Structure formats: C-alpha cells, structure tokens
Amino acid sequence: MEPFGARLARAMDERGPLCVGVDPHSSLLKAWGLPDDADGVASFCQTVVDALADRVAVFKPQSAFFERFGARGAQILESTIRQLREAGALVLLDAKRGDIGSTVAAYADAYLNPSRPMYVDAITASPFLGLGSLAPMFDMAAEHGGGVFVLALTSNPEGPAVQHARGIDGRTVAQTIIDEISQLNKGVEPIGSLGLVVGATIGEAGHDLSQVNGPFLVPGLGAQGGTADDLRRIFAGNLGAVLPSSSREVLGAGPDVQSLRDAASRTLDACRDALGRPGRS
C-alpha cells in the first residue's frame, strides 16, 4: 500500500487539514439524548458516519470509549472504522499503546495488519518505555503503508515532569523522541509516516521540531485554548504537516446531521486560516 505519509498529505489537500475525534463519552451521549450504553454508542457513531465520513480527511476514534462496553463496543468500533474507510477517510485509532517485545508486536499486528478486523490507517503510541520498544509498530507500519503518531509534547499539566526531564546528553526526553523520529523519517517524500503528538497549548517549550519531516497531530486548538498564533509559533516552517484535532467543537453540534456538517466546515475553515492553507477552488 502507498505509505501513510503520502496518503495523509493527499487527504489533507483534498479534504482539508482536520482530524475529528470520535469520542462517545457519557456526557456527550447524554447531550445527544442517547443512553450511555452500547446502543447509544452505535447510534452516535452511525450519525457521525452519515454526517461526516465523506467530508473529513481523518477521524480519530478513542478506543477507551468503546472498550468500556466490552465485545459489543469492539464490534461497534470495528464497524465504524470500516464505514469511515469505505467513505474515503483515513482512520487514526487513539489507543496510545506502548509495551515491549511480543506484546507491542501483538498491538502492531492488531491495528496495522490489513488482515485484522481492527485494522486502521494509523495509531497513537506511547514511547516512554523507550522509543526502540515501538520498533515492531514502525516495522508493521512500513510493511503495510500505515502510520504511527508518537506522544512527544502533550498539553496535559502532568506531561512536562516526564517530557521535559533531561538525559545525560542534556536533551529533554521529548527532544530525544523528536530527534529519533526525525532520523526515521529522513529523506522520505512528501512526508514520513511516523508522526508526533504535540499539543497546541504547550507554551514556550523550547524544542526543535524543524527536522521531523513527518506529520504532527495537534490537539488543543479552539475550546482547549490553542490559537492560530500558537500553531504558527510552535510549527513555524512545518505548517503544511500539521493536522489539528478537534472533537467538542464539531461533535457538540450534534446530533443533527446538518449542524454537524456546519460545525465541521467552520472548524476546518479555522484550521485553514490558522495554517495558511486555502481551500480548493
């Protein structure tokens, strides 16, 4: 399959730089007038698919909101992934998996092997057992044209205690991750398939992102406080590789289908403006 980086670049050119989170948490289900059970999640996801699957470049289901309903939740997630991909969207599963040896190899097989029922285009991963521990994911992604987004600079208040800690070479943990992903993506065109998760609200983190040559998944724009100026400051010189992620700005408009479409369009326009990416004529 064509590498994920190339597929992502084309999807953002064609549909725009926006990733919509599919997060059926209990308060959102309640706001939509749905029960907090598997039936509610199924109805929620079908509405998202019907409203947005053929309009948005990337969808990011959060695995935890499906896992809480056991086998039925997994079936709903599988169906949602399949329908989104059949509509031409890319699916990035937000699972933040990270382990060692045969276990991380099994995660890679579960999500990045096209023969598996939970196959997606890309996954999120945690590197804090050492980036080398994720090698089976990187290898599986390379074999099947998949992507991996590695946590680097998250915007949660607990993150800096680990991510800003310095090693014996003076680099922060985050910078070490950034540099290693940069090496793995080196020379790939149009961009590499290994990305980084970098929050729009990280402030003046002082990290060098200039050589990554891969996509950035960027939560935090809008309701969480991230601004267009933040994006331009943090990702100067890399704005074309930035994929803003939004959930509440879009999903909060549901369950009316047209309202969801209007919200996605407004959010996409804001992302285009922030990144200096005009819409297609």
Q: Which residues pair with 20 in a beta bridge?
A: 59, 246
Give the number of other CB atoms < 10 A from CB of residue 278: 8
Lowest mean pLDDT among 96-105, 121-130, 217-226: 217-226
Quick one: average pLDDT of 115-120? Answer: 97
Per-residue pLDDT band at 155 (split at 50, 70, 90): confident
Q: Could you read off the pLDDT of 12-59 as tens digits, one per residue?
A: 999 999 999 999 999 999 999 999 999 999 999 999 999 999 999 999
**pLDDT above 80: residue 147:** yes
Q: Give the model's pLDDT for residue 102.
A: 96
Q: Which tops the pLDDT comparison, 279 or 148?
A: 148
Q: Could you read off the pLDDT of 190-246 as tens digits, one per residue?
A: 999 999 999 988 777 688 999 999 999 998 776 667 777 888 888 888 999 999 999
Distances (CA, A) of 265 to 54, 71, 198: 13, 34, 23
Express as a percent the part of the chain with pLDDT over 90: 83
Quick one: average pLDDT of 67-96? Answer: 98
Catalytic residue among 30, 60, 96, 186: 96
Q: Residue 49, by phi and psi: left (phi above 0), alpha (psi -120 to 50) or beta? A: alpha
Cα–Cα distance for residue pair 137/141, rounded to 1 Å: 6
Q: What domains does the chain contain, in order, with CATH numbers?
A: 9-275 (3.20.20.70)
Per-residue pLDDT band at 281 (split at 50, 70, 90): very low
Per-residue pLDDT band at 280 (split at 50, 70, 90): low
Q: Give the model's pLDDT for residue 205.
A: 64
**pLDDT above 60: residue 151:** yes
Instruction: State the chain's mean pLDDT as an integer.
Output: 94
**pLDDT above 80: residue 171:** yes
> Is residue 30 annotated as a catalytic residue, yes or no?
no
Quick one: average pLDDT of 250-255? Answer: 95
